[in-house]
Amino acid sequence: MSTKSETLFNDAVQCIPGGVNSPVRAFRAVKRTPVFIDHAKGSHIYDVDGNEYVDYVCSWGPMILGHAYPSVVDAVKAACDNGLSYGAPTSKETVLANLILEAVPFMGKVRLVNSGTEAVMSAIRVARGYTKRDKIVKFRGNYHGHSDGLLVTAGSGLLTESNPDSAGVPKGYTATTLLADYNDVASVEALFNANKGEIAAVIVEPVSANMGVVPPKEGFLEFLRRITKDNGTLLIFDEVITGFRLAYGGASEYFGIQPDMITFGKIVGGGMPLAAYVGTDEIMEVVAPVGDVYQAGTLSGNPIAVTAGIEQLKALKADKDIYIRISEFASRLEQAYLEKGITVNRVGSLLSPFFTEANVNGYDDVLKCDTEKFAEYFKHMLDMGIYVAPSQFEAMFISDAHTKADLEKTIEAIKSF
Ligand SMILES: *Cc1c(COP(=O)(O)O)cnc(C)c1O
């Protein structure tokens, strides 16, 4: 007998490519079909067959307070009564902009957009417009959304599906994207030497979290800050995952480094489609309608999404011990993996177990992981009522709603694998 999820999936594949609206949801990497979600509350999600899971996907990061967090949901419901979209400015956009700038006080201005993809794509256009240079440097295994120029050795679903590149992206589109190795200083120096005066920006996930969690080596981010400054190149931190997660001020606060631009997504929208890019006043001067870099959006700064973002950021700002609690929770899980002899990387509340003997410091190490073993682990966890990302190359996301009982249940599941 098939489950309700299987039936729904069979219906979905008839009308949606692969039955999903984002590839990694398809569970292909773990050779299964996805569970369809009915609802979620706190740290738990419930599928259409009535199974309950402790959720470590948390919508891939946004639900840092847990699902259906009351102050966020109540504010969203109230906002709906005033209309869903106007295409004209509202005072709430300024409130959210200021909440974001409080996280990164060295920045000048914020532009709100609808997705992380859009935020990064726009930030890169701004960096090119500002520096009047074309080339950018990205790192193998870092994911910056699905815009054409950035789909080169990207992580996340591309790694899972083992497409090194996407079809449909003309060669010329990626010709200005230079590739370096994360945590490898020499690979970055070589690109700067070979492209003197031509590199507009270096974009990096300050903690890589789309090839599994890979922390920056001591001094690596400082090195990036130095070499970009010395070459008139902008440093862009893609904090779509790390922003408001490692600390309220994200990775720039956590590591004490000030990039020239930052992109936010995921947490900043409180679970709604909202993202942002920020830069210093001087850089953001180039953005239209003030400057000549065009970037626009019919639904950008949508009042409902902005409301969710404001309430989530307010809650995070009001109780910064959240960051201590979620890190401690992650550290207990880290301990459980280590006791089981499983390699694990952790930074704050972001962690990934890796099915490989060696330490994981970069993309080449990640590629050595045993994905068959991961698939077995995934099945075991799901059977035990633990929902982790269906891929070796993703982070586990902890929320403040995860309880002691969740922790014990998860440790039990790890022990019995
Ligand atoms: C998720 C992610 C993106 C893309 O964001 P979307 O909202 O999925 O478009 C970009 N950069 C990083 C680091 C991400 O994790």
Q: How confident is the chain (417 residues) per 10-residue block, as mean pLDDT?
A: 94 97 92 96 98 98 98 98 98 98 98 98 98 96 91 66 67 86 96 96 98 98 98 98 98 98 98 98 98 97 98 97 98 98 98 96 95 97 97 97 98 98
What is the whole-number distance in angstroms between the Cα of residue 105 and the centre of ligand 1?
23
> Looking at this protein, which amino acid is placed at residue 91?
S
| pLDDT for residue 157 | 64
Residue whose C-alpha is closest to residue 310's, from 75, 48, 60: 75
What is the whole-number distance in angstroms between the Cα of residue 116 and the centre of ligand 1?
4
**Tell me, which fold does domain 70-318 have in CATH?**
Aspartate Aminotransferase; domain 2 (3.40.640)
Nearest atom, ligand 1, residue 239 CA: 13
| pLDDT for residue 158 | 60
Looking at ligand 1, which residue's alpha carbon is closest to its atom 8? 116
Pairing of strands 275-279, 343-347: unpaired
38 catalytic per annotation: no
143 catalytic per annotation: yes
| pLDDT for residue 162 | 43
Residue whose C-alpha is closest to residue 360's, from 351, 95, 112: 351
Are 154 and 128 within 8 A, CB to CB?
A: no
Q: Which residue intervals of 244-352 are DSSP H helices? A: 250-255, 281-284, 303-318, 321-339
Residues 6+ apart with CB under 8 A from 217: 183, 361
- The residue annotated as part of the active site, out of 69, 130, 143, 377, is 143
What is the whole-number distance in angstroms between the Cα of residue 83 and the centre of ligand 1?
28
What is the whole-number distance in angstroms between the Cα of residue 156 and the centre of ligand 1?
9
Q: Where in the chain is the domain with CATH 3.90.1150.10?
A: 4-58+321-415
Integer Cα distance of 63 and 239 in angstroms: 16
Nearest atom, ligand 1, residue 241 CA: 15
What is the whole-number distance in angstroms between the Cα of residue 119 and the centre of ligand 1?
9
Q: Tell me the residue length of the chain.
A: 417
Pocket test for ligand 1, best of 60, 240, 242 (most atoms within 8 A of CB): 240
Looking at ligand 1, which residue's alpha carbon is closest to its atom 5? 116
> Looking at this protein, which amino acid is placed at residue 353?
P
Pocket test for ligand 1, best of 57, 239, 261, 266 (most atoms within 8 A of CB): 266
Cβ neighbours around 314 below 10 Å, total: 17
What is the rounded radius of gyration, in angstroms, for the C-alpha atoms of the chain?
21
**411 phi, psi to nearest 5 deg:** -60, -40
Pocket test for ligand 1, best of 210, 299, 300, 352 (most atoms within 8 A of CB): 210
Q: Where in the chain is the domain with CATH 3.40.640.10?
A: 70-318
Integer Cα distance of 214 and 363 in angstroms: 9
92 catalytic per annotation: no
Nearest atom, ligand 1, residue 117 CA: 9
- The residue annotated as part of the active site, out of 47, 184, 238, 406, is 238
Nearest atom, ligand 1, residue 118 CA: 9
What is the whole-number distance in angstroms between the Cα of residue 240 and the centre of ligand 1?
6
What is the whole-number distance in angstroms between the Cα of residue 269 and the centre of ligand 1?
12
- The residue annotated as part of the active site, out of 55, 184, 266, 337, is 266
CA distances from 80 to 73, 109, 384, 386 (A): 11, 27, 38, 33
**Tell me, which fold does domain 4-58+321-415 have in CATH?**
Aspartate Aminotransferase, domain 1 (3.90.1150)
Pocket test for ligand 1, best of 63, 112, 120 (most atoms within 8 A of CB): 120
What is the whole-number distance in angstroms between the Cα of residue 239 and the centre of ligand 1?
9
Q: Who lines ligand 1 at CB under 6 A?
A: 115-117, 120, 143-145, 205, 210, 238, 240-241, 265, 275
**217 phi, psi to nearest 5 deg:** -65, 155
Residues 6+ apart with CB under 8 A from 107: 101, 262, 278, 279, 280
Looking at ligand 1, which residue's alpha carbon is closest to its atom 10? 144
